[in-house]
């Protein structure tokens, strides 16, 4: 798990789970969500070999994202590394939390690899929240190749666990936390989530 003390999260929501509700102040459909942190391997622009994944808010509690597989992302010769594809799914699923306006970390991620993804391929990712139960957020995603309506190459189900900003302050490296909190964009985002940086 991603630094939580939760018992192993099941991927099937309990019967009393609630339908997800988009926060009234969530980004509008089509709006670019941006990086949650510049040094993030998944969405940050400050990682030269990162995914540089860009996610946009969708309808309801959904997002769409794109990621282009580069040479640094390969596993087998000429093909994307499975761990990189799982990271792209995880990053896209994590972006959903902007629409709920909660801070959450990956509790469990299960990935299915259905087709090889060659280098220089654009992976078109769609994700949505399926249910919420207490601090647990249930979601699903798929990645297609050959276009937004192309064949599904990867898919995932996940459970994210809502945390407070203290999770990062208590567990991150102090110099990284200070750098993030010195960034005006991070301070703005922290205020949007009604937390103190």
The sign one gets for the Cα dihedral 86, 70, 50, 130 is negative
Q: What are the structural domain ranges in the chain?
A: 18-163, 164-197
The class (CATH top level) of 18-163 is alpha beta
Per-residue pLDDT of the chain (197 residues; tens, 9 = 90+): 445 445 556 888 999 999 999 999 999 999 988 776 666 766 667 777 777 788 999 999 999 999 999 998 899 999 999 999 999 999 999 999 989 999 899 999 999 999 999 999 999 999 999 999 999 999 999 999 999 999 999 999 999 999 876 555 555 566 666 666 665 555 445 545 444 33
Rounded distance, CA 109 to CA 89, Å?
A: 9
Q: Note the pTM of the prediction, 2 decimals.
A: 0.81
Residue position matching structure tokens 């208590």: 170
Q: Are 131 and 15 in contact (CB under 8 A)?
A: no
């Amino acid at each position: 798990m991603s630094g939580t003390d939760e018992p192993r999260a099941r991927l099937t929501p309990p019967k009393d789970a609630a339908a997800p509700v988009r926060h009234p102040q969530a980004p509008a459909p089509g709006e670019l969500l941006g990086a949650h942190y510049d040094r993030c391997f998944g969405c940050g622009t400050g990682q030269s070999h990162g995914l540089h994944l860009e996610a946009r808010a969708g309808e309801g509690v959904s997002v769409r994202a794109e990621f282009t597989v580069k040479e640094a992302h390969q596993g087998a010769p000429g093909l994307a590394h499975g761990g990189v594809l799982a990271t792209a799914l995880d990053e896209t699923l994590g972006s959903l939390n902007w629409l709920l306006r909660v801070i959450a970390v990956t509790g469990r991620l299960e990935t299915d690899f259905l087709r090889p993804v060659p280098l220089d391929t654009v992976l078109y990712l769609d994700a949505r929240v399926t249910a919420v139960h207490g601090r647990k957020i249930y979601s699903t995603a798929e990645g297609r190749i050959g276009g937004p309506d192309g064949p599904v190459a990867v898919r995932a189900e996940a459970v994210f666990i809502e945390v407070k900003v203290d999770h990062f302050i208590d567990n991150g490296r102090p110099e990284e936390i200070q750098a993030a909190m010195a960034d005006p964009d991070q301070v703005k985002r922290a205020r949007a989530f009604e937390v103190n940086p």
